[in-house]
Amino acid sequence: MSPLEPFGARLRHAMDARGPLCVGIDPHDSLLSAWGLHDDVQGLERFTRTVVDALADRVAVFKPQSAFFERFGSRGVAVLERAVADLRDAGALVVLDAKRGDIGSTMTAYAETFLRKDSPLFADALTVSPYLGYGSLKPAVDLARDNGCGLFVLALTSNPEGAEVQRAVREDGRTVAATMLAHLAAENAGEAPLGSFGAVVGATLGDLSSYDLDINGPLLAPGIGAQGATPADLPAVFGAAVRNVVPSVSRGVLRHGPDAAALRAAAERYADEVRAAAGA
């Protein structure tokens, strides 16, 4: 298999071509029920297939949440494997939302699961947790760099509990989150048009001007739609880094299913609103 262009470059091209939007694929039991589906593997497969068929050829990025597939065991993971492959075949980028984080050989195994080209779950990027120390992510950083993939590192998440760790102040006076952002800026130094190592930064957090979000990499921004943020909020949250934001919408799009046309209209509306807000 030929080497992939770096994830950051592919992401920039995809968002320029298809619009700056990431659609989360989160098959909550409540969403399955709202679609008239049973909370079982058959319902999961029908839900996932409908989203893929409706949106794979027009949305830039998809973010399947691994947990909602894993809860059905091996048959659920098989649905995820097929979805990842089909999305990528349609020209979309896939960020596997697995939030893996560990040390040594275990972190290496997680990285190989999602970032090794011959893996059934090979994705364009992976969400990871750095809270065993940023250096613990080295196996994933190395494999991502080797295979043209990316990482999204949890930095400033939208859940209220995150602040007790992420906004804790180190001995050097920097917060933990600021330290993570600095690590990512170093990973992305000199990359163009965009580095491949991004941060997860919640769109619901309000003014973040005290943080340097200019990491020359993408900022995955959950929280738009059901969690209360809107595309119009993005400039106030992200400032000058807003063009590098990858806004993630899940229920805000998915609640319009199972009608394929309604799913497409919702995704297009969010992409247009983000493009207008970011001045893209």
pLDDT (tens digit, 0 to 9) for every residue of the chain, 280 residues total? Answer: 445 799 999 999 999 999 999 999 999 999 999 999 999 999 999 999 999 999 999 999 999 999 999 999 999 999 999 999 999 999 999 999 999 999 999 999 999 999 999 999 999 999 999 999 999 999 999 999 999 999 999 999 999 999 999 999 999 999 999 999 999 999 999 999 999 999 999 999 999 999 999 999 999 999 998 788 999 999 999 999 999 999 999 999 999 999 999 999 999 999 999 999 988 6
Angle at 163 (CA atoms; ends 278, 111), nearest 5 degrees:
75
Phi, psi (rounded to 5 degrees) for 241: -85, 5
* Positions marked catalytic: 99
Pairing mode, strands 219-224 and 93-100? unpaired
What are the extents of the domains in the chain?
7-19+60-247
* Topology adopted by domain 7-19+60-247: TIM Barrel (3.20.20)
Q: What is the pTM of this model?
A: 0.97
Find residue 160's DSSP bridge partners. Answer: none
C-alpha–C-alpha distance, residues 162 and 31, integer Å = 26
Q: Closest Cα partner for 140 from 121, 116, 120?
A: 116
Q: CB neighbours of 198 closer than 8 A, spacing ≥ 6?
A: 125, 150, 151, 152, 153, 184, 215, 217, 218, 219, 220, 246
C-alpha–C-alpha distance, residues 149 and 20, integer Å = 19
DSSP letter, residue 2 = P
What length does the chain have?
Answer: 280
